[in-house]
């Protein structure tokens, strides 16, 4: 496929530069971030004081000093200890509370950015996307961002700072040996974690992919609910879903086993260095080199050091996971739409509403041509009809007119302006469409019609409903226009959906109208009524009508017969009949069908 295709590269390495994408969000809430950092400093300060208080307490209580002890000193130490403990927790909580706003704001911004971006991508992307998987990727991505922001600011840097402080204190008070043990074990721990986590990333990614794939499968299956029922393929669907789930389960298992390896290794390093330090401290106490209080202090620092270090390992792991998630989302953000406005593209100015196709050729896939050298023009206020077999390329003409794709050669003009040089928004605002297949929002009928013009008043919406002959149907409903139409409009019949779609187009009232087999789902009586209404609306409008029943286009100013992407005949109904070619043949075939009593016309 040559159009923008969203396929992530599985061997892609994690991109730490993603972190730089988060800086603007931190900068934006600078005062909150600074306040949170202050809380962090206070919490860390409190925890660094605790070992000293403990040492003083132990030394004060030591049998050799306890007689000389003033009770107020003991009391003061105990209170200070309690205060430090409380301050540590309190400022930690305060920090999280204050910082929450920053991450939530960032998640909202990024969520919106991704949403807008996905809507800006071209039709081809959406035809290829897997809705369930995409939703999962986005969800994981935004959660990942929040995690990353929180832990990058509050964990990595502060923990490194804490390690430096502890090493400094040990070095200053107890000589080089404790500091060396600490440094060596921290380094070993860090290196091991880094390597092991790097190795584990593949399992995390594998797990995420399996997660997205199973979600894709579930959503796709649920969307096709009816088809599943018609063919009683529930079991088949369940099997397919389960085979995705099995992959997920296996990926989880591998992931967990690798986590076991990582955690085990980390625990071993920590235990070894703790043993070394305790041993050294015990030996020094027994040699009377240091006091019992010092022993407690060293022990306390060690616990305090390895707890955040263990946590750092966890955070690092999670951050790698988050980065893998975020990366998916940024890959999505990096998908460029193939159809873009030229810089500074002016708005389309529709004065008369003339549309012309000039030698347009197009293929979705280079190997198969769909439109071949198609030229025609629709004069202001004219009605041009396109007829031809299914698959001839009729709807493709419409997609090109809306600029969902650019022609491979040739050009399309509206009032002399090349549509590829004006802004897409202005182009699409100027054209109304009743598409071949209408998909509705899961909302009320009224709101679905109003979608044609969100600013329309209720009176205007009702006017459109009346013109589309939807009012009879609505009054027959117990809940009237407030009836919800179900997901994608599945609770309405094909004809009713088409009428909603017609009402929408009427409400939009653009200068150019396109009807792509707009009445194909209506019975011939309703069709005649609606066609009369459409004729009324299309008067003074330029219209392109793709027709299924030739009887609906006999009044067209020009009829094009499309066959295998080529215009094989064109002219008025009368002229084409006189030519006695393809069109005349089709016409006769449809007449026969209509006169045949065996065929039930009303579908
Ligand atoms: N997005 C697409 N990718 C590839 N082929 C497509 C795509 N959309 C339509 N086609 C093919 O292009 C041909 C013309 O389609 P279309 O214009 O919808 O025909 P119709 O004349 O029935 O409206 C069909 O054979 C269809 O299979
Ligand atoms: Mg079509």
CATH assignment at residue 395: 3.40.50.300
The number of the ligand nearest the C-alpha atom of 387 reads 1
Secondary structure element (H or E) that encloses residue 357, with its range = strand 355-362
> Quick check: 184 and 137 in contact, CB under 8 A?
no
Q: What is the CATH number of the domain that holds 241?
A: 1.20.1560.10
Single out the residue of 208, 206, 204, 212 nearest to residue 317, CA to CA: 204
Residue 601 pLDDT grade (very low, low, confident, very high; cuts 50, 70, 90): very low
DSSP-assigned letter for residue 155? I
Instruction: Name the β-bridge partners of 512.
Output: 431, 542
173 located within any domain: yes
For ligand 1, pick from 3, 126, 395 the residue to mutate: most ligand atoms within 8 Å of CB: 395
Instruction: Name the β-bridge partners of 411.
Output: 358
How far apart, in whole angstroms, are the C-alpha atoms of residue 516 and residue 353? 18
Instruction: Name the β-bridge partners of 414.
Output: 355, 417
Assess whether 57 and 158 both reside in one domain: yes
Assess whether 218 and 95 both reside in one domain: yes
Scanning the structure block, which residue is given the tokens 């075939």?
589
Residue 311 has pLDDT above 80, yes or no: no
Provide the 3-class DSSP secondary structure of residue 515.
Answer: strand
Within 8 A by CB and 6+ apart from 223, the residues are 131, 487, 488
Assess whether 295 and 411 both reside in one domain: no
How far apart, in whole angstroms, are the C-alpha atoms of residue 192 and residue 543? 70
Q: Rounded to the nearest whole angstrom, what is the distance from the C-alpha of residue 127 to the centroid of ligand 1? A: 12
For ligand 1, pick from 1, 363, 386, 391 the residue to mutate: most ligand atoms within 8 Å of CB: 391
Encoded tokens for 496: 């009713």
Express as a percent the part of the chain with pLDDT over 90: 36
Ligand 1 atom 5: the closest Cα is on which residue? 364
232 located within any domain: yes
Of all atoms in ligand 1, which is nearest to the CA of residue 392?
21
98 CB near ligand 1 (under 6 Å): no
How buried is 458 (Cβ within 10 angstroms: 0-12 exposed, 13-18 middle, 19+ buried)?
Answer: exposed
200 located within any domain: yes
345 located within any domain: no
393 CB near ligand 1 (under 6 Å): yes
- Computed over every residue of the chain, the mean pLDDT equals 85
207 CB near ligand 1 (under 6 Å): no
- Three-class SS of 235-259: HHHHHHHHHHHHHHHHHHHHHHHHH
HSE (side-chain half, CA atoms, 13 Å) at 189: 29
Query: Mean of the pLDDT values across residues 332-340?
Result: 87
Q: Rounded to the nearest whole angstrom, what is the distance from the C-alpha of residue 371 to the centroid of ligand 1? A: 10
Within 8 A by CB and 6+ apart from 68, the residues are none
Assess whether 292 and 397 both reside in one domain: no
389 CB near ligand 1 (under 6 Å): no
Single out the residue of 535, 532, 595, 587 nearest to residue 561, CA to CA: 587
Q: Rounded to the nearest whole angstrom, what is the distance from the C-alpha of residue 563 to the centroid of ligand 1? A: 13
Of 248-252, 309-313, 365-369, 431-435, the one with minimum mean pLDDT is: 309-313
Single out the residue of 316, 335, 332, 326 nearest to residue 20, CA to CA: 326
Q: How many CB atoms lie within 10 A of CB 53?
A: 21
How far apart, in whole angstroms, are the C-alpha atoms of residue 32 and residue 20? 19
Assess whether 59 and 118 both reside in one domain: yes
The number of the ligand nearest the C-alpha atom of 517 reads 2
How far apart, in whole angstroms, are the C-alpha atoms of residue 510 and residue 432? 6
Assess whether 281 and 399 both reside in one domain: no
Count of structural domains within the chain: 2
pLDDT at residue number 8: 38
> Quick check: 440 and 492 in contact, CB under 8 A?
yes
**Domain ranges, residue 321:** 18-334
Assess whether 536 and 479 both reside in one domain: yes
DSSP-assigned letter for residue 154? I
Assess whether 122 and 182 both reside in one domain: yes
Helices (H), 224-233: 225-230
Assess whether 392 and 495 both reside in one domain: yes
Ligand 1 atom 27: the closest Cα is on which residue? 391
How far apart, in whole angstroms, are the C-alpha atoms of residue 12 and residue 372? 40
1 CB near ligand 1 (under 6 Å): no
pLDDT tens digits for range 456-486: 999 999 999 998 888 889 999 999 889 998 8
pLDDT tens digits for range 9-53: 333 444 566 667 777 888 888 898 889 889 988 988 888 898 899
Of all atoms in ligand 1, which is nearest to the CA of residue 365?
4
354 located within any domain: no
Encoded tokens for 466: 């009346």
pLDDT at residue number 63: 67
For ligand 1, pick from 125, 360, 370 the residue to mutate: most ligand atoms within 8 Å of CB: 370
396 CB near ligand 1 (under 6 Å): yes
Secondary structure element (H or E) that encloses residue 378, with its range = strand 371-378
355 located within any domain: no
DSSP-assigned letter for residue 444? B
Task: Please say whether the dihedral angle defined by the alpha carbons of residues 55, 56, 59 and 61, taken in this order, is positive or negative.
Answer: negative
Query: Mean of the pLDDT values across residues 393-402?
Result: 94
Query: Mean of the pLDDT values across residues 207-213?
Result: 87
The number of the ligand nearest the C-alpha atom of 124 reads 1
591 located within any domain: no
Q: Rounded to the nearest whole angstrom, what is the distance from the C-alpha of residue 364 to the centroid of ligand 1? A: 8
394 CB near ligand 1 (under 6 Å): yes
Q: Rounded to the nearest whole angstrom, what is the distance from the C-alpha of residue 375 to the centroid of ligand 1? A: 19
Q: What share of the chain is helix, strand, coil (3-state, %, to 5)?
A: 65, 10, 25
Assess whether 329 and 450 both reside in one domain: no
Assess whether 328 and 376 both reside in one domain: no
List Cα–Cα distances, 226 to 232, 240, 243, 442, 530, in angstroms: 10, 17, 22, 17, 30
pLDDT tens digits for range 225-241: 888 988 889 999 999 99
18-29 burial string, b = 16+ CB within 10 Å, else e? beebbeebbeeb
Express as a percent the part of the chain with pLDDT over 70: 93
Within 8 A by CB and 6+ apart from 285, the residues are 291, 292, 294, 295
Ligand 1 atom 18: the closest Cα is on which residue? 395
CA-based radius of gyration for the chain: 36
Assess whether 32 and 175 both reside in one domain: yes
Of 19-33, 107-121, 570-584, the one with minimum mean pLDDT is: 19-33
């Amino acid at each position: 496929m040559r159009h923008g295709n969203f396929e992530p590269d599985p061997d892609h390495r994690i991109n730490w530069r993603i972190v730089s994408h988060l800086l603007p969000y931190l900068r934006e809430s600078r005062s909150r971030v600074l306040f949170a950092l202050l809380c962090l400093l206070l919490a860390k300060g409190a925890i660094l004081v605790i070992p000293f208080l403990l040492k003083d307490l132990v030394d004060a209580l030591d049998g050799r000093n306890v007689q000389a002890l003033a009770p107020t000193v003991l009391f003061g130490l105990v209170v200070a200890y309690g205060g430090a403990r409380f301050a540590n927790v309190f400022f930690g909580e305060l920090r999280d509370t204050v910082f929450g706003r920053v991450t939530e704001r960032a998640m909202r911004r990024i969520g919106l950015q991704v949403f807008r971006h996905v809507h800006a991508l071209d039709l081809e992307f959406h035809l290829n996307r897997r809705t369930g998987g995409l939703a999962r990727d986005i969800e994981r991505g935004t959660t990942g961002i929040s995690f990353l922001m929180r832990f990058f600011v509050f964990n990595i840097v502060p923990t490194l700072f804490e390690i430096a402080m502890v090493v400094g204190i040990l070095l200053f008070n107890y000589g080089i040996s404790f500091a060396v043990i600490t440094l060596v074990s921290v380094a070993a721990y860090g290196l091991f974690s880094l390597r092991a986590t790097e190795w584990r990333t593949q399992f995390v990614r594998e797990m995420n992919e399996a997660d997205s794939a199973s979600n894709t499968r579930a959503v796709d299956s649920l969307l096709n609910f009816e088809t599943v029922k018609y063919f009683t393929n529930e079991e088949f669907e369940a099997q397919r879903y389960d085979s995705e789930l099995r992959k997920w389960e296996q990926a989880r298992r591998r992931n967990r086993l690798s986590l076991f390896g990582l955690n085990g290794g980390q625990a071993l390093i920590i235990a070894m260095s703790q043993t070394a330090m305790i041993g050294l401290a015990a030996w020094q106490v027994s040699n009377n080199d240091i006091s019992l209080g010092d022993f407690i202090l060293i022990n306390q620092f060690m616990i305090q050091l390895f707890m955040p270090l263990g946590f750092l390992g966890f955070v690092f792991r999670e951050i790698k996971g988050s980065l893998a998630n975020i990366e998916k989302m940024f890959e999505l953000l990096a998908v460029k739409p193939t159809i873009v406005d030229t810089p500074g593209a002016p708005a389309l100015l529709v004065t008369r509403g003339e549309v012309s196709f000039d030698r347009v050729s197009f293929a979705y896939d280079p190997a198969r041509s769909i439109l071949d050298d198609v030229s025609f023009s629709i004069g202001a206020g004219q009605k041009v009809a396109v007829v031809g077999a299914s698959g001839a390329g009729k709807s493709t003409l419409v997609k090109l007119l809306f600029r969902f794709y650019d022609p491979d050669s040739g050009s399309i003009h509206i009032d002399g302006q090349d549509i590829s040089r004006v802004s897409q928004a202005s182009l699409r605002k100027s054209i109304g469409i009743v598409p071949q297949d209408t998909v509705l929002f899961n909302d009320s009928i009224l709101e679905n019609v109003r979608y044609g013009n969100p600013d329309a008043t209720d009176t205007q919406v009702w006017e459109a409903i009346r013109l589309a002959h939807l009012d009879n149907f609505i009054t027959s409903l117990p809940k009237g226009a407030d009836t919800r139409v179900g997901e994608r409009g599945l609770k309405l019949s094909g004809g009713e959906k088409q009428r909603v779609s017609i009402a929408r187009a009427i409400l939009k009232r653009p200068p150019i109208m396109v009807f792509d087999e707009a009445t194909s789902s209506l019975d011939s009586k309703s069709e005649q009524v609606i066609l009369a209404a459409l004729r009324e609306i299309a008067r003074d409008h330029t219209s392109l009508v793709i027709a299924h029943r030739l009887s609906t286009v006999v009044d067209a100013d020009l009829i094009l017969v499309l066959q295998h992407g080529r215009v094989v005949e064109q002219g008025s109904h009368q002229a084409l009949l006189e030519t006695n070619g393809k069109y005349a043949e089709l016409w006769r075939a449809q007449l026969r069908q209509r006169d045949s009593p065996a065929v039930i016309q009303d579908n």
